[in-house]
Amino acid sequence: MPKSIWSRRHALAALAAWWMPAAQAAAESSSPGFDLQPWPRGRAAPAFPATDMTGQAVSLQALRGKVVLVNFWASWCEPCRAEMPSLQALAEREKAQLVVLTINLKESPEAIARFVQSTVLTLPVLRDPLGDTARAWGIKIYPSTVLVDPAGQVRSVVRGALDWAGAEGETLWRPLLRAEPQRTPKR
């Protein structure tokens, strides 16, 4: 084999040996599949459906004292479906201090029931048949999860999917257990 071909092969092999780990490290350290948006100071939590699909009454007022995650989803949304088991696991594991509510966007009761049955979902599901609730909350990306502190104050919105039952999710909701109430600026 001529020396120039051998040298090029070694150079390419060396480049590949350097590039592959660098590309993998870049992919692993790249930004997550979600972003965190602060809730505007002084803006109250909009209303949402007052009952879940089983007829149980639901209100943020009644959930005071617990962190509340309000997850907006749809069964046609692949990231929503992928995220749901972690929300379920988190709600079961942290039920003494946290509640997860889910709000389904524009799907029929039958479609929601099929999804709930196929996934054995036990989280409360509220319906948003026309998308009015999502609009009121400013939700445009699915899934989106609103974080509400124990005082009932909305703190932020997570746009996109993540592992809520893992360390990444815990870094977002656990600090709310110790959160100081937000004060509305005096005018």
150/84 Cα distance (integer angstroms):
22
84/169 Cα distance (integer angstroms):
13
Active-site choice (60, 67, 74, 80): 80
CA angle at residue 115 from 112 to 119, to 5 degrees? Answer: 140
Known catalytic residue: 77?
yes
Active-site choice (36, 58, 63, 77): 77
CA angle at residue 30 from 35 to 28, to 5 degrees? Answer: 125
Known catalytic residue: 174?
no
Angle, helices 109-119 vs 78-93, to 10°: value is: 60
Q: Which residues are catalytic?
A: 77, 80
